[in-house]
């Protein structure tokens, strides 16, 4: 498969703190890729650099062979990269349908004149957007609540809504930043199924997550980031048994327990 995303010698420093150091990583089209590592390893910084929220100190980021240097976040979104965030960012006073349609509006073709005159094209495009929004809500099992206010959703449902809105931008690459944070075990299983189904529809998924059972049960390919460097990469079985990965998590009881849980041990 051809390469979708390439990080080449990517570095990010905050003053004297070297958060990322010469990170090299390539993702191919298709599948579900996970990035894991202890707290403070630099995982979210990777996402912030890819999506243009931060500039790199050094190195390159290429998407479909295009250098992303200097591009603004909305320009990167137009190229086909969408993301969700650790902290949910939805419009809580809007309905679920309206939240998803916000993500679709950049693709509509009627322009400001069509909006002002309520042209035939405007009505056609709005109808198309509504149909697509309903479809995306169905993907995350929220179609029955399309008219509800987003603020009335459970925490897990709000995360699913954010996922549907990210999909509305029609991405080629979908970045999920801790997608199951705050979810209960049932919600995690449901989202795992939904992410798999989204992947089967042709989307490439790149996720950060602390729940090792979720990562190992979902991802085809996993990389481990520690102190700003990639220390391992492989399938879940390879990562579970890698000595450097085990050492990176030593002394962190919460993460050790998660690694044990991913093996099915106690």
Q: In this structure, are 228 and 124 located in the same domain? A: no
Domain extent for 254: 28-56+65-80+171-266
Sign, Cα dihedral of 48, 51, 55, 56: positive
Same domain, 186 and 238: yes
Mean of pLDDT values over 259-265: 53
Which of 117, 150, 170 is where one domain is finished?
Answer: 170
- Last residue of some domain: 170, 194, 220? 170
Distance CA 112, CA 122 (A): 10
What pLDDT shows up at residue 1? Answer: 52
* 222 and 105 share one domain: no
pLDDT category at 39 given cuts 50, 70, 90 is confident
Q: What is the pTM of this model?
A: 0.85
Q: Are residues 249 and 179 in the same domain?
A: yes
Instruction: Please give the average per-residue pLDDT across 98-109, as a whole number.
Output: 78
Report whether 199 contacts 212 (CB < 8 A): no
- Residue 179: which CATH number? 3.40.50.300
What does the pLDDT read at residue 104? 85
Phi and psi (nearest 5°) for 256?
A: -60, -45
- Do residue 44 and residue 132 come from a single domain? no
The verdict on residue 113 lying in a domain is: yes
Q: How far is CA 196 from CA 29, 165, 204, in A?
A: 15, 17, 11
Q: What is the pLDDT at residue 149?
A: 95
**Residue, of 87 and 189, whose pLDDT is higher:** 189
Predicted pLDDT at 114? 47
Choosing from 113, 148, 170, the residue where a domain stops is: 170
Burial label for 75, CB within 10 Å (0-12, 13-18, 19+), is exposed
Q: Which one, of 61, 67, 32, 28, lies nearest residue 46 by Cα? A: 61
pLDDT at 265: 46
**Statement: residue 231 has pLDDT above 60:** yes
The least confident of 122-131, 158-167, 194-203, 222-231 is 122-131
Does the structure show a pLDDT above 60 at 84?
yes
Q: Please give the Cα distance from 265 to 4 (Å, whole number).
A: 36
């Amino acid at each position: 498969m051809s390469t979708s995303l390439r990080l080449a010698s990517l570095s990010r420093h905050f003053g004297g703190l070297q958060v990322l150091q010469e990170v090299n990583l390539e993702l191919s089209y298709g599948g579900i890729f996970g990035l894991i590592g202890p707290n403070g390893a630099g995982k979210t910084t990777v996402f912030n650099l890819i999506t243009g929220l931060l500039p790199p100190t050094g190195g390159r980021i290429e998407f479909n062979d295009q250098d992303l240097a200097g591009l603004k976040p909305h320009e990167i979104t137009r190229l086909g990269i969408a993301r969700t965030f650790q902290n949910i960012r939805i419009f809580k006073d809007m309905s679920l349908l309206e939240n998803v349609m916000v993500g679709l509006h950049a693709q509509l073709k009627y322009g400001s004149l069509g909006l002002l005159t309520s042209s035939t094209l405007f009505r056609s495009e709005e109808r198309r957007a509504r149909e697509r929004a309903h479809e995306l809500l169905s993907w995350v099992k929220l179609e029955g609540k399309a008219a509800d206010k987003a603020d009335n959703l459970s925490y897990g449902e709000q995360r699913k809504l954010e996922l549907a809105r990210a999909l509305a931008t029609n991405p080629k690459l979908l970045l999920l930043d801790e997608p199951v944070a705050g979810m209960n075990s049932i919600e995690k299983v449901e989202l795992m199924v939904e992410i798999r189904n989204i992947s089967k529809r042709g989307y490439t998924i790149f996720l950060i997550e602390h729940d090792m059972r979720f990562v190992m049960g979902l991802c085809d390919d996993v990389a481990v980031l520690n102190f700003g460097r990639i220390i391992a990469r492989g399938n879940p079985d390879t990562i579970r048994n890698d000595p450097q990965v085990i050492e990176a998590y030593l002394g962190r009881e919460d993460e050790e327990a998660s690694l044990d849980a991913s093996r099915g041990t106690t």
